Chains A and B, each alone.
Chain A
Amino acid sequence: MKRFLKLVGLVSCISVSAFASAQEVNVYSARKEALIKPLLDKFSADTGISVNLVTGKADALITRLKSEGKYSPADILITTDVGRLYRAKEQGLTQAIETDAFKELISQNYIDPDSNWVGFTLRARPLMVAPERVDASQLSRMEDLADEQWRGRICIRSSSNIYNQSMVAAMIAQLGEEKTQAWLNDFVKNFARTPKGGDRDQIKAVVAGQCDIAIANTYYLAGMASDGDEATRETASKVKVVWPNQQDRGAHVNISGAAITKHAPNAAAAQKLVSFMLQDESQEWYAKTNHEYPLRADVEQSEVLTTFGDFKAEDVDLAKVGELNRQAVVLMDKAGWK
């Protein structure tokens, strides 16, 4: 027993001292290390606050946060999708962020109504087509993809993927359940193959001729277009971005963003990190390195992104998109989207 108490004493010294150095912030990130670490390092260099990082899948991080409860060391949760921010908030794992200063910088739509999460960057999910085989004028709306003329010509990844879930959830929010289901049923019939692989895979399949239309996030194509490998760059140059729904609701977009955890031991430092992410330098880094659209209108897009052209983004309540995620999966199951 004595030895056990000693051990407890020792361990508590260690953990107390860990808490005592207030100059740190603990990050749970669904963004891959390579896509966030450089920015976190810069934050540490600027502020002297050291950053501890665990990366993982968003739902796993949320489950971990929940299971750790009030003793969780995590201060901040970074995700690549609004649906997961919504889920963390819904489960009572987040707290309000000081967002007054942000409201002048970014659109209100990218901040949670209760300030429990804030967006960092924007990503769009347009169509990418083989221009020699597809007449873009036939494709002005997502709804057109259900048309019989596209039978066996569309490539898209699995419906287990969060980007597709959010895309369908946004559709439900704007068109309603019934219309979305009807669209899904016909859309799935037009798939060229059982969904497999990631977004880049779909783009490559278009270039290889397996299908004519791919649906993928913009930064994947941009990443390919600026890859070190020449063949990859050439592949990227062979598809053309088509922005759907430009005459009505706009193209589907999603955000990456963050929430501060409810029991954050270093909430003040976490707040600083959120502010840092919205500074123009960070927004520029995101835009240039990751090829995402900066949320701040005064920060320039990367050169590659500008070649995709300007577009009108849908103006849907992102919190609602998060809420409809479950329903989206149910509809996709019913439509037989693997």
Chain B
Amino acid sequence: MKISPWREPWLWAVTVFSLLLAVPVLLIFTSVFIPQKELWQHLFATVLNDYVYHSLLIAFSVGGLTLLLGTSLAWLVARYEFAGRGTLQWLILLPMAMPAYILAYTYTGMLDVAGPLQTHLRATFNWTYHDYWFPDVRSVGGAILMLSLVLYPYVYMLARTAFSEQSASFYEASRSMGVSGFGYFRKVAFPLARPAILTGTALAMMEAFADYGTVQYFGISTFTTGIFRTWNGLGNTIGAAQLAAVLTSFVLVLLLIEKHSRRRLRYFHQGQKQNSAKRLTLTPVSAVWAVIACLLPVSLGFIIPCAQLLIWAAERATTQIDSGFIDLIWNSFYLAASAALIAVGLALLFAYAKRLRSHWLLNSQVQIASLGYAIPGTVIAIGAMLMLSAADDALNALTESLFDTSVGLIFSGTLVALLLAYSVRFLAVALHNVEAGLQRIKPSMDDAARSMGLSSFAVLKTVHIPLLRASVLSAILLVFVDVLKELPATLILRPFNFNTLAVRTFELASEERLQDAAVPAIAIVLVGILPVVLLTRALESGKDR
């Protein structure tokens, strides 16, 4: 029996929330109706080529690299047993806590032409700058590397969950047909995990598209730096919004292709919990290589930059850590935690709605609301700002007519604005994780539970959430860490006298005081590691049950 999707009140809630989140994104698209012929002629004749080429090059290279790194590490950890595997499997996640722009600052500080390494080389061999070749950190290649190093955990996390949930029966069946080793990975395990892997890759690519901090510091012209240049330099807000709209369209196309590519793929868990495939023990020599393979990205993306930051921070800790520093940590933490809970709550609502009542209008609403991940934080912040100002104006008009007094700004310049912007920006992360988990649960289980008289909410609570536990926890973790690192929206929207660790880091780093900036930077990383460790523990204990 098919009933109209609009009969159930909670579906209205979905509509209202998804529309609210879509407004800031839609506001960007309204700009395309105001022609800016002169501007586009100028951009076309001068810089647009660079914007398009660099943005695509960076996003696709980051996509490729994170796919390769994330999937192979996940396969290694999920499939094989070797000494240190237990520790390594969460160490691999740590680069996630490192903001890309901080990685960029740190490597520049170490490896740049004026950095200690090159200075030392010149002094030792009596070289001048022109006597030797040294790779330039601040280049397109450097940006791709920096972004990939902090983004591969997105792929790794989703892929590992997918691999470790694959039932042992697949492996045994394959082996009985003579397929094992790499053939098994290529023909069975990878295709089965493909939705999760592609989701992770898409997230990494969206983040790469939206990156501003790294490319700006490296002096690379991309869409994001172009948006700023058009807005600040050329003073053309509408043109900037149009550039953002083009960028968003790229991503929309990308997401549709990804969706199209797996339109016929549907993989589900079996109803009852099955044994995961047993991990194969590696020979001692292979085990050493496995450990090296796991340690390499962790060292480059976390251990080495952290060590450098700690050295810098040690020199400046006394001047940078004052009574206000605890406030910075607390502000960062509770903002990130609240945003993570809100985003994951909304993601559950949306994903569940789509599952129960798949309707094109509903699906596209949710799709638009989750585009925010590929849009630079500043652009979303401005969308959110315009929307909340309109709400404030309406509220003031109301109170003025009712009580003859104005209440001032209730939404703008408050934490409401920040939480809205974070929800728009990071909904996609939560949604993709939750959906990836939800897709693996057979619809027949829903039907069975419903036929036993459970309400749809009860199905969520008693059937889905326990099965979704890993995905929901990953979603919370990812959004938490993302918000913790978030800078541009926080910078624009925050209330008076309110700073976060990311804001403090940026202020010092943009004054080119890298050593001072190391103190709050290392604090971001430490606050970010805490949930990584806690949640990995929780996930592990969940598996053992």
B contacts with A: majority SS? helix
Which one, A201, A220, A325, contacts B235 given CB within 8 A?
A325
Shortest Cβ distance from A171 into chain B, in angstroms?
A: 16
Asked if B409 and A68 make an inter-chain contact with CB atoms under 8 angstroms apart, the answer reads yes
Known: A67-B386, A333-B47. A54 touches B496 (CB 8 A): yes
Interface residues of B in 207-241 (CB under 8 A from A): 216-219, 221, 225, 228-229, 231-237
Known: A15-B408, A71-B408, A338-B221. A160 touches B114 (CB 8 A): no
Report the bound CA distance from A19 to B129 in whole Å: 60
Asked if A199 and B234 make an inter-chain contact with CB atoms under 8 angstroms apart, the answer reads no
Chain A's closest residue to B47 (CB) is A333
Asked if B219 and A208 make an inter-chain contact with CB atoms under 8 angstroms apart, the answer reads no
Kindly list chain B residues whose C-beta atoms are within 8 Å of the C-beta of A8: 395, 399, 407
Kindly list chain A residues whose C-beta atoms are within 8 Å of the C-beta of B47: 333
Interface residues of B in 60-115 (CB under 8 A from A): 108, 112-114
Shortest Cβ distance from B545 into chain A, in angstroms?
A: 43
Asked if A73 and B408 make an inter-chain contact with CB atoms under 8 angstroms apart, the answer reads yes
B370 within 8 A of A: no
Chain B's closest residue to A9 (CB) is B403
Known: A63-B385, A338-B221. A209 touches B235 (CB 8 A): no
B357 within 8 A of A: no
Asked if B217 and A57 make an inter-chain contact with CB atoms under 8 angstroms apart, the answer reads no
Asked if A209 and B233 make an inter-chain contact with CB atoms under 8 angstroms apart, the answer reads no
Task: Sort chain B's interface into a size bin.
Answer: 35 or more
Interface residues of A in 172-213 (CB under 8 A from B): 194-201, 204-205, 207-210
Which one, B221, B399, B491, B512, contacts A12 given CB within 8 A?
B399
Kindly list chain A residues whose C-beta atoms are within 8 Å of the C-beta of B386: 67
Asked if A333 and B231 make an inter-chain contact with CB atoms under 8 angstroms apart, the answer reads no
Asked if B46 and A54 make an inter-chain contact with CB atoms under 8 angstroms apart, the answer reads no
Which one, A57, A60, A205, A326, contacts B234 given CB within 8 A?
A326
A99 within 8 A of B: no
Kindly list chain A residues whose C-beta atoms are within 8 Å of the C-beta of B138: 196-197
Chain A's closest residue to B231 (CB) is A59
Asked if A334 and B233 make an inter-chain contact with CB atoms under 8 angstroms apart, the answer reads no
Shortest Cβ distance from B267 into chain A, in angstroms?
A: 45
B263 within 8 A of A: no
Report the bound CA distance from A34 to B509 in whole Å: 12
B189 within 8 A of A: no
Kindly list chain A residues whose C-beta atoms are within 8 Å of the C-beta of B536: none
Known: A68-B389, A162-B232. A34 touches B114 (CB 8 A): no
Asked if B494 and A54 make an inter-chain contact with CB atoms under 8 angstroms apart, the answer reads yes
Kindly list chain B residues whose C-beta atoms are within 8 Å of the C-beta of A58: 232
Interface residues of A in 314-333 (CB under 8 A from B): 325-326, 328-330, 333
Chain A's closest residue to B503 (CB) is A55
B317 within 8 A of A: no
Kindly list chain A residues whose C-beta atoms are within 8 Å of the C-beta of B409: 15, 68, 71-73
The number of A-B residue pairs with CB atoms under 8 Å apart is 162
Kindly list chain A residues whose C-beta atoms are within 8 Å of the C-beta of B122: 208-209
Asked if A220 and B408 make an inter-chain contact with CB atoms under 8 angstroms apart, the answer reads no
Kindly list chain A residues whose C-beta atoms are within 8 Å of the C-beta of B237: 63
B524 within 8 A of A: no
Asked if A67 and B512 make an inter-chain contact with CB atoms under 8 angstroms apart, the answer reads no
Chain A's closest residue to B385 (CB) is A67
Report the bound CA distance from A72 to B496 in whole Å: 12
Asked if A11 and B410 make an inter-chain contact with CB atoms under 8 angstroms apart, the answer reads yes
Kindly list chain B residues whose C-beta atoms are within 8 Å of the C-beta of A207: 114
Report the bound CA distance from A207 to B114 in whole Å: 8
Asked if B496 and A60 make an inter-chain contact with CB atoms under 8 angstroms apart, the answer reads no
Which one, B46, B229, B232, contacts A334 given CB within 8 A?
B46
Shortest Cβ distance from B228 into chain A, in angstroms?
A: 7
Interface residues of B in 496-515 (CB under 8 A from A): 496-499, 503-504, 507-508, 510-512, 515
B393 within 8 A of A: yes
Asked if A57 and B491 make an inter-chain contact with CB atoms under 8 angstroms apart, the answer reads yes
Report the bound CA distance from A8 to B398 in whole Å: 11
Asked if B129 and A210 make an inter-chain contact with CB atoms under 8 angstroms apart, the answer reads yes
Report the bound CA distance from A60 to B496 in whole Å: 15
Report the bound CA distance from A73 to B385 in whole Å: 15
Which one, A55, A68, A160, A325, contacts B225 given CB within 8 A?
A160
Ranked nearest first, the 10 interchain pairs of A and B with the lowest CB-CB distance are A196-B219, A204-B114, A209-B129, A52-B496, A329-B233, A200-B512, A333-B46, A208-B114, A12-B407, A15-B408
Could you name 18 residue pairs across A and B whose Cβ atoms are closer than 8 Å?
Answer: A12-B403, A12-B405, A18-B408, A19-B408, A34-B507, A52-B497, A54-B413, A56-B491, A59-B231, A60-B381, A64-B493, A67-B382, A72-B409, A73-B413, A160-B216, A162-B232, A196-B218, A198-B510
Additional pairs, 6, CB under 8 Å, beyond known A12-B405, A67-B389, A205-B114: A12-B408, A57-B491, A60-B381, A67-B385, A208-B129, A220-B512
